[in-house]
């Protein structure tokens, strides 16, 4: 073999990374690890072994965390939290800066440990995972420094329980730990059962960097350990990255607890190739989209959607590129792909591929020799996959893409959105107008234009639909680790006794207020009505009127009307603002009538009733003003390009209106949603519904399109449950009892809708805190569109 022969064959010789330092670190711990609690390691206990995916050999013995371990870690975090939060932001920033620096100084050791433990190529851990982990601590050190000025009125949540997956062990740790610590929280982290080593190494480095005891705690174990952490009564927030199925269980476990929750779940991301795309660049994009980390990436571009005119050319070039992919041991610096996490996951991948082929799919697979001894699977593309196959619709979490074709951009959008997931998407086109138009229509939290799997600490990451909710990274991610200071001081709601009727008020009892559905008044499906009684003065106990009692079918009708009004979200912000101003103008013209109705329903003094109407008019004007001023951000990540953080409407939102301030509560909870382009199904105050049923007369005269604003009356508990179960409802705001909050959070898991509640606290709806950007953030979801530029 001569040098010239290498130029003839272009073969790579193996180039193994030295793993002696990593092996020495394992030996220094005798290959056995306990938990990291209160600034030190506990004695190793009974547990399990981690295995090197590329060889099948044991790496270390890991302790299985139980209830006592989780209790101890949470107690340590609680003890440290007050002191940590009380530090000046500059002091916390210095600690995070120290963590970033110590990651950089130990980058090679971390890279090797990660490659050994996870099985991914050393090239990826060295060049992507570890540098980006350090970047997260650098970036969030800045937010710690700026916290007082940039997040005035917000406090840290407290103790945060974090559960991370095995596909990016150290990067996911940094992703979650950095913002939590920066903003004054303390952490109990549960790394994945299969890949805990880099987290334990990081704990050791954090100790060396001077992080105070108890600020960071790590408890190892399997899913049972994670369940104990998520359900722990002294944990204030749970941040989870993993499967949608486990995310559902965590949502159920935390329902009604008052815990903040962030879920970053599965994906089935579309990779759209337009006929004018640079096909060679798009082929390389596929390599990065689905064969990066062996496809074990939640945002992997696993659904190729290729325009018919270039489909054959594209797939021919893709097949040629697949032949050049190198598969080998994780420490070989010349490989493209390495091992699947374990044999069970490899077998799951193989089973899904086999079922798709048996159902008629065409298999495109590189004929590559696989190394012996580990869990390997070749790069694979499935064409013409029947839509009934699980490979077509479910997350494979392996190096397998399914491919389909389309004719028009409209069809591409339909195919892209035909999934229960909505984490990420890629669009490949040389026509920037077309690319951005597709990016705007795809239902995903992240869209990459002519690139894929690009991430940065300064740009929020997270999905929509069943890919979860919340954002991690950037300014938008910081709010998920903070709580508004004012609401913590508000008292628990005290349910009032039901009013008892004393006779009839003959001048009003003959009028039964109807529902307002699809721009029209509608009778209740069940045909039932109930009386509404006065609460004070001369109206005490008098029947003021009757309202319908809505049922499941009424909910269905209202949601269908809202779905038919989907065009509201594409109206210009100026147009939505005009309509909200018009609503305020028409309510103002009838102020005396609405004030009198409030006085009779609630027993308020005349001046209090007039003040509530005045505040309602002002709030409509306020959200009219916000409609064309709540705008996105241009992120400037470290690349030649930018990322556009665009706030988008969520879709159809259910609202359970509060009993206190029946008119102002209605306006305060529905106006921000409508201003941002959502459609609303509102359940009026159960005790005092007549202000809402009067308000639809304002809607009828204010040019509000049919279906945008729908109003029902009835039981808050019953209708809240129906809205929570309804899979066409994308978000639910519920303001009532603690039991109501618990119920709707628990029942919302069907489509993992976003839920916003007061946790049973009686908010003062006239307070400044009940208006503005907090509500607008809950009324929108951020889509980050990455746009590189240059040749």
How many CA atoms are closer than 13 Å to the CA of 648, on its beta-carbon side? 24
For residue 256, the SS3 value is: coil
The Cα–Cα gap between 213 and 80 comes to: 7
The Cα–Cα gap between 284 and 279 comes to: 9
The Cα–Cα gap between 146 and 182 comes to: 10
Instruction: Give which of 467, 383, 380 is closest to 422, Cα–Cα.
Output: 467
Query: How is 165-225 classified by DSSP, letter by letter?
Result: -SSSHHHHHHHHHHHHHHTT-EEEEE--TT--HHHHHHHHHHHHTTPPTTSEEE---SHHH
Q: Enter the tokens of residue 286.
A: 């596929």
Cβ atoms of 457 and 136 within 8 Å: the answer is yes
Burial of 369 (0-12, 13-18, 19+ CB in 10 A): exposed
- DSSP 8-state class, residue 125: I
Tokens 């009386």, residue? 531
Tokens 């669009």, residue? 427
**Which regions of 552-624 does DSSP assign to beta strands (E)?**
none
Cβ atoms of 216 and 99 within 8 Å: the answer is no
Active site residues: 264, 298
Cα distances (angstroms) measured from residue 76 to each of 36, 110, 212, 401: 11, 26, 11, 45
Residues 6+ apart with CB under 8 A from 601: 532, 534, 535, 539, 544, 662, 687, 688, 690, 691
Q: Calculate ∠ Cα 727-728-733, nearest 5°.
A: 85
Phi-psi sector, 331: left (phi>0), alpha (psi -120 to 50), beta = alpha
The Cα–Cα gap between 213 and 206 comes to: 10
In angstroms, the first-to-last Cα distance of the chain is 39
Of how many residues is the chain composed?
791
The strand pairing partners of 199, in sequence order, are none
Cα distances (angstroms) measured from residue 241 to each of 184, 245, 270, 298: 21, 11, 20, 9
Query: How is 448-496 classified by DSSP, letter by letter?
Result: EES--S---TTS-B--SGGGEE--BSHHHHHGGGEEEHHHHTSPBP-PP
CB atoms within 10 A of CB 357: 16
| Rounded (to 5) percent helix, strand, coil in the chain | 45, 20, 35
């Amino acid at each position: 073999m001569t040098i010239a022969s290498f130029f003839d064959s272009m073969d790579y010789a193996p180039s193994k990374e030295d793993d002696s330092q990593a092996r020495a670190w394992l030996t220094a711990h005798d290959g056995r690890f306990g938990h990291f609690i209160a600034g030190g390691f506990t004695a190793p206990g009974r547990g399990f072994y981690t295995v090197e995916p590329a060889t099948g050999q044991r790496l270390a013995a890991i302790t299985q965390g139980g209830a006592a371990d989780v209790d101890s870690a949470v107690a340590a975090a609680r003890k440290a939290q007050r002191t940590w939060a009380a530090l000046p932001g500059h002091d916390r920033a210095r600690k995070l800066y120290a963590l970033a620096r110590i990651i950089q100084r130990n980058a090679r050791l971390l890279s090797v440990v990660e490659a050994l433990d996870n099985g991914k190529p050393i090239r990826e851990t060295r060049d992507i995972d570890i540098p980006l982990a350090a970047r997260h601590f650098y970036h969030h050190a800045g937010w710690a420094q700026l916290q007082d000025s940039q997040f005035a009125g917000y406090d840290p949540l407290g103790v945060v329980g974090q559960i991370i997956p095995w596909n990016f062990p150290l990067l996911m740790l940094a992703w979650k730990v950095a913002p939590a610590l920066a903003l004054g929280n303390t952490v109990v982290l549960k790394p994945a059962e299969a890949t805990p080593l880099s987290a334990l190494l990081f704990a050791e480095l954090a100790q060396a960097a001077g992080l105070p005891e108890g600020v960071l705690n790590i408890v190892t174990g399997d899913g049972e350990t994670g369940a104990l952490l998520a359900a722990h009564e002294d944990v204030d927030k749970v941040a989870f990255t993993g499967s949608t199925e486990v995310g559902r269980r965590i949502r159920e476990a935390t329902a009604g607890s008052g815990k903040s929750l962030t879920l970053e779940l599965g994906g089935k991301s579309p990779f759209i190739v337009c006929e004018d795309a640079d096909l060679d660049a798009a082929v390389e994009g596929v390599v990065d989209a689905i064969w990066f980390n062996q496809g074990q990436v939640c945002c992997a571009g696993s659904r190729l959607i290729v325009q018919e005119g270039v489909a054959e050319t594209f797939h021919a070039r893709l097949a040629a590129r697949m032949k050049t992919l190198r598969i080998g041991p994780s420490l070989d610096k010349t490989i493209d792909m390495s091992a699947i996490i374990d044999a069970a996951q490899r077998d799951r991948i193989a089973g899904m591929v086999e079922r798709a082929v048996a159902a008629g799919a065409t298999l495109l697979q590189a004929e590559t020799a696989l190394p012996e001894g580990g869990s390997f699977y070749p790069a694979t593309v499935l064409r013409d996959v029947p839509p009934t196959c699980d490979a077509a619709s479910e997350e494979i979490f392996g190096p397998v893409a399914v491919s389909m074709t389309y004719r028009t951009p409209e069809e591409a959008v339909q195919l892209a959105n035909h999934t229960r997931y909505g984490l990420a998407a890629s669009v490949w086109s040389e026509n920037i107008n077309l690319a951005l138009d597709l990016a705007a229509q795809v239902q995903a939290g992240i869209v990459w234009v002519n690139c894929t799997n690009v991430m940065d600490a300064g740009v929020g990451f997270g999905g929509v639909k069943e890919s979860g909710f919340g954002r991690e990274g950037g300014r938008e991610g910081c709010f998920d680790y903070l709580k508004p200071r004012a609401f913590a001081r508000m008292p628990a709601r005290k349910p009032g006794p039901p009013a008892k009727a004393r006779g009839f008020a003959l001048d009003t009892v003959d009028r039964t207020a109807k529902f307002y559905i699809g721009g029209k008044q509608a009778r209740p499906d069940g045909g039932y009505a109930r009386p509404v009684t006065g609460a004070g003065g001369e109206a005490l106990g008098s029947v003021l009127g009757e309202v319908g009692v809505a049922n499941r079918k009424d909910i269905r009708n209202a949601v269908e009307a809202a779905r038919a009004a989907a065009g509201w979200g594409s109206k210009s912000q100026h147009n939505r603002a005009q309509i909200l101003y018009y609503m305020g103008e028409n309510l103002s013209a009838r102020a005396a009538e609405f004030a009198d109705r409030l006085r009779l329903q609630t027993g308020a003094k005349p001046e209090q009733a007039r003040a509530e109407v005045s505040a309602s008019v002002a709030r409509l004007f306020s959200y009219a003003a916000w409609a064309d001023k709540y705008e996105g951000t241009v992120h400037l990540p470290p690349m030649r390009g930018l990322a556009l953080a665009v706030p988008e409407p969520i879709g159809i939102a259910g609202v359970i209106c509060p009993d206190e301030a029946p008119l102002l509560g209605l306006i305060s909870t529905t106006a921000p949603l409508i201003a941002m382009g959502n459609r609303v199904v509102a359940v009026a105050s159960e005790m005092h519904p007549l202000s809402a049923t009067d308000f639809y007369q304002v809607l009828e005269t204010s040019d509000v399109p049919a279906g945008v604003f729908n109003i029902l009356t009835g039981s808050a508990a019953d209708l809240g449950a129906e809205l929570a179960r309804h899979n066409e409802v994308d978000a639910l705001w519920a303001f009532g009892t603690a039991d109501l909050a618990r119920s709707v959070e628990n029942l919302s898991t069907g489509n993992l809708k976003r839920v916003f509640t007061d946790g049973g606290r009686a908010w003062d709806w006239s307070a400044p805190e009940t208006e503005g950007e907090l509500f607008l953030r809950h009324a929108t979801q951020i889509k980050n569109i990455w746009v590189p530029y240059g040749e």
